[in-house]
Structure 1
Amino acid sequence: MLRRSSLRIALASLAFAAALPAHAGFWSSLIDTTPAGLARSSDDRPGDWASFWSDTRAGAEKIMSDGNSVWILPTYTNHPRWDWPQRSEENGWPMGMGLARGIIDEKGNERMLYLITFVDSNYRPEPMAGYTWVARWPLGNSGFHVGAGYLAGLTMRGDYMWAPVPLPLPLAKVGTDTVSFYGTWIPVTNVFFFFSTITLDDAKGRKMPLSPESPWVKTPNLLYGSWGWQYTDNGEKYSPSRVASDTVWNAGLRRYSGRSWQTDLKYSRSSHEVTRADGPGKNDLRIESYTLTLAYNMDWAKTFRLFAGAGFGYSKGETRYASDWSLHPALTLGFTWAAAENFFITGSMDTNFARFKGVLEDRGDGYTVRSMPTSFTIGAGLAF
């Protein structure tokens, strides 16, 4: 992913520098799109460079205070064939989760502060945080709109030694005020990244305390079990092994606390057939995981919530040949419906970054399975 990156960065920098004098108001227009511009417009004052950082802080605080909550689902990573002849070796499914706070300014433009973590092209966790600005144009009276703008922020990647990397990227979207689909192009690597969002109109409601009769207060504990399908991808450069996706079941204990938080302790178990890509050889890999996650809840209705969060996990991979254990990050995203006073229905997508070394027969002790197990489950439980 680093090939030709220096040349591309240089060309992009030259193009950007050449565009600066295109019109005299470039910097003023650019600042208007930042959080500082939001603060200045709301205060009806022009501002200057001396106050830029204080205005940026004020604008960010306004977005966090007055904006609506946004639930983010990383959706797809496209490695175009014209630049990625080995695209089958890269991960195209960025399983993960994200949260944001978004606001529509007086001009109808969208501004958003976001935090997102997903599985990158090399099957490692990639956190990203920053700000987006999008100008929107309605599509007649359909309720849909299209938009274009930019994404700015920082990310950290394993192939960059986990050093913070700045992200000035173009951004396009299509959707409604509630559901939207976004796409960006990463010029350094020639990769297209897509994500989806659900925006909840909760700017006022989340500032109000929960009623004592709220199910999240009255019955703050949930003992549940669920069942579903676990997606796996070995994630190796030359994919010498195929790890089959299969069913998974889990059991967990959840505790609701404060206005919007939940803590989950969860156990899951699954079994997968592993075959060689280049000939005979088969293993049955059993994965057991224990995870502890903290998630933020957004109220869609009084009895229905969306949540997204992260934590840590312990996983054990075992075959008849050997076993290995792994400590790893864990991501969770899902919903909970308080269907009755003591009966909740919950569903989630849970991603673990487990690594198992030396567990496959005839692969060698140095061979590591990076299965990236992601579970899609639905279940029910007793609330008390």
Structure 2
Amino acid sequence: MSSSYFHPSVLATALFSLVLTTSAFASENNTNPHQTITTENPQVTSNPSQSNNEESYWGKFKRNVNQTWDNDQYNYYLPVWTWHNRFTYDKEKTDRYNETPWGFGMGKYRYDNDGDWHSLYAMAFMDSNNRVQPIMGYGFEKMWYPGDKDGFRMGAGFTLSITARHEYNYIPMPLPLPLVSVGYGHLSLQATYVPGTYNNGNVLFAWLRWQ
């Protein structure tokens, strides 16, 4: 399949359109669109002998995704830095790679009863070769609050995402990654590290997140 079929601008536009459509759908089906959904609803089952402890990881994941989807609070993402690990690259490669990932993203988020962060997002940015790279998925971080929950916070978790790159004709592919963040008030600095081999991968990617 030719690369023109998966043109980056078309794919990025489709991802953002999906997020906007999702937001509209959630608002129409939410009885109180300004309510933050934090209650963990028990899984309904036809088997009366099944206990809450028997809920599968998949069931919990679906519940978290659905509750985040139904929420009506938004994150905005601004990519700020890409760093290629100099210990795993030849210098001539890093000299020509782009490390300014201009782009933008948005998504929905919520904090659960434990204060942990959940998000559904889509983002597009300029990759190492100055080509558009879209990414979308679900993110989770376990949060720590040294003081007031509206003040300083730190988080660590993961994202289960789908991305596409020009080297592979923009065919969507899964990309699970770790997440870390530090934040204060409405603003957070969030980052991930893409593992790899010599001269491939091993990239630190960071962005600002406004909520």
Give yes or no for TM over 0.5: yes
Between Structure 1 and Structure 2, which shows a larger proportion of helix residues? 2
Pairwise mapping of residues 51-130 of structure 1 onto structure 2 (< 5 A)? 52=58, 56-84=61-89, 85=91, 86-130=93-137
Give, as a single letter, the amino acid of the residue that structure 2 aligns with 1:111.
H
Q: Does 1:42 align with 2:40?
A: yes
Aligned to 1:195: 207
CA distance in 2, matches of 1:75, 1:179: 14
Q: C-alpha displacement at 1:140, in angstroms?
A: 3.3
Aligned to 2:156: 148
Normalised TM-score (structure 2): 0.68
Q: C-alpha displacement at 1:52, in angstroms?
A: 3.8
CA distance in 1, matches of 2:113, 2:143: 12
**8 A contact 2:65–2:138 mirrored in 1:** no
Larger Rg computed on CA atoms: 1
Q: C-alpha displacement at 1:62, in angstroms?
A: 2.0
Q: C-alpha displacement at 1:67, in angstroms?
A: 4.3
Give, as a single letter, the amino acid of the residue that structure 2 aligns with 1:195.
W
Aligned to 2:182: 174
Specify every segment of 5 or more residues in structure 1 that has no aligned partner in the other structure, as ranges: 1-38, 200-384
Q: C-alpha displacement at 1:103, in angstroms?
A: 0.3
Deviation track 1:48-82 (CA, whole Å, cap 9, x = no partner) reads 45x946x6555333212224111110111001221
Q: Secondary structure at the match of 2:87?
A: coil
Higher relative contact order (CA 8 A, sep 6+): 2
- Identity over aligned residues, as a percent? 29
Specify every segment of 5 or more residues in structure 2 that has no aligned partner in the other structure, as ranges: 1-36, 44-51
CA distance in 1, matches of 2:72, 2:144: 20
CA distance in 2, matches of 1:151, 1:163: 19
Q: C-alpha displacement at 1:161, in angstroms?
A: 2.7
Deviation track 1:169-221 (CA, whole Å, cap 9, x = no partner) reads 1110000241000011000210000011110xxxxxxxxxxxxxxxxxxxxxx
Deviation track 1:245-271 (CA, whole Å, cap 9, x = no partner) reads xxxxxxxxxxxxxxxxxxxxxxxxxxx
Aligned to 2:23: none
Normalised TM-score (structure 1): 0.39
Q: Secondary structure at the match of 1:123?
A: coil
